[in-house]
Amino acid sequence: MSKKTFGPQPLLFPMPAVLVGVTIEGKANFMTAAWCGITAYKPPSLMIGIHKERYTLQGIKPNGAFSVNVASVEQVKMVDYCGIYSGTKKDKSRVFKIFHGTLKEAPLIEECPVNLECQVKHIVDMESHIVVLGKIMETHVSESCLAEGKADTKKIDPLIFSFPDGQYWRMGEPIGRAFQLGKEK
């Protein structure tokens, strides 16, 4: 098998397409992010990479709070809308039904199946982007996306983003269970 080299490229598969919520001058604002991942399990934490010129940073730094809203396939147009237009140009505070949990400055999107309230723990400069590491303080899941009382991946129907083709995808079929398939080797 031969390989082709491309120089440094951010080629990770799959990527999420989440909506990051902040409060700026008393108003909710939402930004689409694919540079995002869980960082730790205990306590649960995550990171988002935010371009230094993004309006969202004006909400994250002073408040120390933000939300990460997992989008489902159903929300694809709104996700893309929030990725195209900056909060400096469009008022995104009325695009979604908003609710609040424990962190008053982390607006949550009712339409999104999963909502994470996050408190900023560390900020790391990675040149083009600021990496925000946040502790997950509370998790909300839509009742319609539960099965036997737990978050159900299939019902959540999460939106997937791929780079560099700039495509949104839906999830396919389950293949098997983790911590089992490897024992059959």
Which residues from 30-49 bind its own copies, rule CB under 8 A? 34-47, 49
Q: How far is the CB of 58 from its own copies (least distance, A)?
A: 19
Regarding 79 and contact with its own copies (CB under 8 A), the answer is: yes
> Given the complex with its own copies, which of 25 and 184 has the nearer CB atom?
184
Please report how many Cα atoms fall inside a 13 Å half-sphere around the Cα of residue 150, on the Cβ side. 4
Q: In this structure, how many other beta carbons lie within 10 angstroms of the beta carbon of residue 99?
A: 11
Closer to its own copies at the Cβ: 25 or 137?
A: 137
Burial class (CB in 10 A: 0-12, 13-18, 19+), 66: buried
Q: What's the residue count for the chain? A: 185
Task: Tell the smallest beta-carbon distance from residue 59 to its own copies (Å).
Answer: 19
61, 24 contact by CB (below 8 A) = no
Site for its own copies in 89-118 (CB under 8 A): 97, 99, 101, 110-111, 114-116
Least distance CB 135 / its own copies (angstroms):
7
